[in-house]
A and B are shown apart, each in its own frame.
Chain A
Amino acid sequence: MLEGLITEGKLDSYLDRVEREISSGTIDRRSFFKSAIAFLKSKISESQRVKMSELILKIIADEQDNNLKDILVSLLKKGENVIKLKPRRILEILHELSSSEKNLNVPLNLYIYRGKQYLINKETKKAIELFKFVNEMNRNTSILDYLKIIHLKLSNMYISEEKYEKAVEILNNFCKIEANDVTVNHQLSILATLYTKLSRLESINASWDRTLKLWHIRYKQTEDKRYLDKILAKHKYFVAKFVELQKWDIAKKELSKILELTPDDMIAKRAFVQI
């Protein structure tokens, strides 16, 4: 009945009616709250908003449910469309509604807040699961950034414990989420280079393929010379290593890549002719 007045656009009549029912003590609270939601979602004037705030204040004065009270008080803060709230309190309320939470469009910043809570409490796995879930729902650079940092941090921890395979596994897990992150791919290439036997140089070389591809893309997009320097450094390093192993053909292939990028490199030019 109350909502009917809103649907018909009789907003002032709705407010008068609610005021009368509150004064007479005949108001049905649930019905009022439901209608208040519809009312606040409608196009209302500032004076209507103020009036509604006064009515909500009256009805919550004796409200026993603290969660409900907090949500309603928060609604009264509404100025523009954004309300500043304590996330801890919202999470507590959501926790009580955990089974229904999926029906709610939980804002991204609240997920990030919860992810950070997990990290502070050293619940890294939970944080990763949460950020992965949010990323699947709404692929977002800041979420990916958090995921990247967590994975790199974990990987560094394993490196410091000399558990290189575990470090690689962690980074590969991140690559399943985002295959084209230049930092993580670079880190994987470095691990392959530093912790694989030189006798497996060809597979070490192959481990740089994706990193190289990403550097080329970055260089093309940004013209940042640092990427060109990195690309050249990769080829130079592997020329020298293949020469060490006397694998002349592969060394020459790497040399030709240097010459494609810097045709005037005298050392590469001479070596290309000589080896």
Chain B
Amino acid sequence: MQRITFNPYDVLGLREHATVEEIKNARRELIKKSPHETHPEEARKINEAYQMLIDKVRRSEVDRFLNSKQGSLLEIQKHFLSDKVKKTLFEVEQIDFEKDFTILPKELDFEADFLLDLLNLYLDNKSTV
């Protein structure tokens, strides 16, 4: 029984009911993008995932594992606590804290009526006028 530490479907970007043809095509395309010479680690993982799925016995073990509690917990830890999830959850709205706080306009628009009310109030408060 092989030890399963990752989901090979995820690595190859496949659905769980993928056909043999789809598995082969996925490997071919991914290796083209990440060849051994330049991406040895990724290529190794792609090949490992491919081997896990192309072999019928190993694939059935993978499927059993993924549908077990242990497999579910592995996937939860990987996908539900991923950097992407954390970023989405903890990313806060960007606020411009200096947003026109530091600039005072030289002039403002005032309604003429406000000025008339101000004059009225001024006259009421200044008995010397």
A positions within 8 Å CB-CB of B: 29-30, 33-34, 37, 40-41, 65, 67-68, 71-72, 74-75, 78, 81-87, 90, 93-94, 96-97, 100, 103-107, 109-110, 113, 116-117, 119-120, 149, 152-153, 156, 182-183, 186-187, 190, 193-194, 229-230, 232-234, 236-237, 239-241, 243-244, 266-267, 270-271, 273-275
Contacts and interface: CB of A to CB of B under 8 A. Distances in A.
28 contacts: A29-B129, A30-B123, A34-B120, A41-B113, A68-B123, A84-B108, A84-B110, A87-B105, A93-B118, A100-B121, A103-B121, A120-B101, A149-B95, A149-B99, A149-B101, A182-B93, A233-B86, A233-B89, A239-B76, A243-B76, A267-B80, A270-B66, A270-B71, A271-B75, A274-B67, A274-B68, A274-B73, A275-B69
B104 A105 contact: no
Nearest to A243: B76
A75 B111 contact: no
Nearest to A186: B92
A270 B67 contact: yes
Closest 8 CB pairs of A and B: A236-B80, A233-B88, A240-B80, A233-B89, A274-B72, A271-B72, A240-B81, A274-B69
B108 A119 contact: no
B119 A243 contact: no
B85 interface: yes
- By size class, the interface of chain B is 35 or more
B104 A116 contact: yes
A37 B120 contact: yes
Contact of A75 (B85, B108, B109, B119): B119
A119 B97 CA distance: 12
Contacts, number: 174
B41 interface: no
Given A237-B85, A240-B80, A275-B73, A33 B114 contact: no
A84 B129 contact: no
B89 A237 contact: yes
A79 to B, nearest CB: 9
Given A34-B120, A84-B109, A71 B80 contact: no
B1 to A, nearest CB: 19
Contacts of A34: 120, 123
A86 B106 contact: yes
Contact of B102 (A85, A93, A120, A237): A120
Given A94-B118, A240-B80, 13 more contacts: A41-B116, A74-B115, A86-B107, A103-B121, A107-B110, A149-B95, A152-B97, A182-B93, A183-B93, A183-B95, A230-B88, A230-B89, A270-B67
Contacts of A107: 108, 110-111, 114
Nearest to A78: B112
Interface string B48-76: 00000000000000000011110111011
Contacts of A187: 92
Given A75-B116, A271-B76, A275-B72, A117 B107 contact: no
B104 A30 contact: no
Contacts of A37: 116, 119-120
A117 B119 contact: no
A248 to B, nearest CB: 10
A237 B95 contact: no
Contacts of A78: 112
B36 interface: no
A96 B123 CA distance: 12
Nearest to A33: B123
